[in-house]
Amino acid sequence: MAGASLLTRIRFPELAVARRSVSEDELRASILANLSKMIHTRLGTMLTQPDYGIADVSEMVHAFPDAIVMMARSLRTTIQQYEPRLSQVQVIHIPNEGLDLTLRYEIRAQMACDGIKSSVKFETRLDASRKLTVK
């Protein structure tokens, strides 16, 4: 499987070389870009795939502390459904230290690259201004 998504390969044909070997770093960067698109899409906004994206952060703010589990479940479900390059996905809440109002999750998974599986980690942060990032 190529590292770049189908739409990326169509837009940039030089990435669509037949049977091109993809490095782990290229694959991780492609997955990270896809995860970023996923977390910035609100659940229910895509007419063709209503289950794509994550739950609306604005609505979850009023459901604390249950929102912590709801957000983790929403992240995990969407990743499992729409990122086939990752398997054994775990989304783990990282508790805050002090008075920091940031909600953090660690995403752990197995990534397949040229038949070899390797562990990867990503971190998702939701800050007090409701800005959501993944790195």
Delimit the domains of the chain by residue range: 22-134
So what's the pLDDT on residue 99?
A: 64
So what's the pLDDT on residue 20?
A: 61
Q: How far apart are CA 59 and CA 85, in angstroms?
A: 30
Structure tokens at 46: 């895509």
**Enclosing H/E stretch for 113:** strand 103-113
Contacts of 74 (CB under 8 A, 6+ apart): 43, 54, 55
- Looking at every residue in the chain, the average pLDDT score rounds to 82
Q: How far apart are CA 99 and CA 112, in angstroms?
A: 38
Report pLDDT digits (tens) over 24-43. Answer: 888 899 999 999 999 888 88
- Give the percent of the chain with pLDDT over 90: 30
- Given a contact cutoff of 8 angstroms between Cβ atoms, the answer to whether 5 and 34 are in contact is yes
Query: pTM here?
Result: 0.76
Report pLDDT digits (tens) over 67-78. Answer: 788 889 989 999
pLDDT, average across residues 70-92 = 92
Burial 80-90 (b: 16+ CB within 10 A, else e): eebbebbeebe
**Under CATH, what is the fold of the domain 22-134?**
Nuclear Transport Factor 2; Chain: A, (3.10.450)
